[in-house]
């Protein structure tokens, strides 16, 4: 093999690797779970595969576990956020939560129960019932999201609605550590109790 052929093969291999890397990252993401807001479903240090294409045409479903850029932190002023001082945005990492309310839904939390449009949700995935209360009607273009660890989660019960444009994708499966591998199935979705 000539040097010329070797470098052409090497360039072709590198180009193919770059195309594959970019292509895979356009349709999916690998996300590390940080914190305990989604316990017991997800735990700190687990890695998930996320589909960036799941909501290309909408299709949000109650119960989906999603990854998103959080809206502005409620305790931080707009001025501080816009200035972008180093170290101020450490807590603005992507969030992982579960969709509870869709546009037009009325979500009510009272006596440790979550109701959507007057129907109590069957939620076998939560760690304990919420100790807070409130009622929200989800506007068009927004979602209402909660962590499965209801009493230790920064979510819609604190900062209201999540703009749909902030959604990065739908969590599909946990792939690391190997002992925790699981597919996040639609049967884990919140649904109205019979």
Distance of CA 51 to the CA centre of its chain: 11
Q: What are the pLDDT digits (tens) for 81-123?
A: 444 444 544 445 889 999 999 999 999 999 999 999 999 999 9
**Among all residues, which ones are annotated catalytic?**
37, 97
Concatenate the DSSP letters of all residues of 132-186 into one string: --EEEEPPTTEEEEE-SSTTS--SHHHH-PEEGGGEEEEEEEEEESGGG-EE--G
* The domain defined by 29-192 carries CATH number 2.10.109.10: yes
Global pTM reads 0.79
* Ranges of residues in the chain whose predicted pLDDT is under 50: 74-78, 81-86, 88-91, 187-189, 193-194
């Amino acid at each position: 093999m000539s040097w010329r052929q070797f470098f052409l093969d090497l360039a072709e291999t590198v180009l193919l690797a770059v195309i594959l890397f970019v292509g895979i990252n356009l349709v999916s993401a690998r996300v590390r779970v940080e914190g305990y807001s989604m316990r017991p479903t997800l735990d700190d240090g687990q890695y998930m595969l996320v589909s960036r294409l799941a909501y290309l045409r909408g299709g949000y479903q109650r119960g989906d576990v999603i990854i998103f850029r959080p809206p502005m932190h409620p305790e931080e002023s707009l001025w501080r956020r816009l200035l972008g001082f180093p170290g101020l945005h450490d807590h603005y990492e992507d969030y992982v939560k579960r969709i509870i309310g869709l546009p037009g839904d009325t979500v009510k939390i009272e006596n440790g129960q979550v109701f959507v449009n007057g129907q109590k949700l069957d939620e076998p995935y939560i760690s304990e019932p919420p100790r807070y209360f409130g009622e929200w009607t989800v506007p068009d273009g927004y979602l209402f999201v909660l962590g499965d660890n209801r009493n230790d989660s920064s979510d819609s019960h604190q900062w209201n609605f999540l703009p749909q444009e902030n959604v990065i994708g739908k969590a599909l499966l946990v792939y690391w550590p190997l002992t925790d591998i699981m597919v996040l199935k639609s049967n884990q979705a919140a649904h109205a109790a019979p």
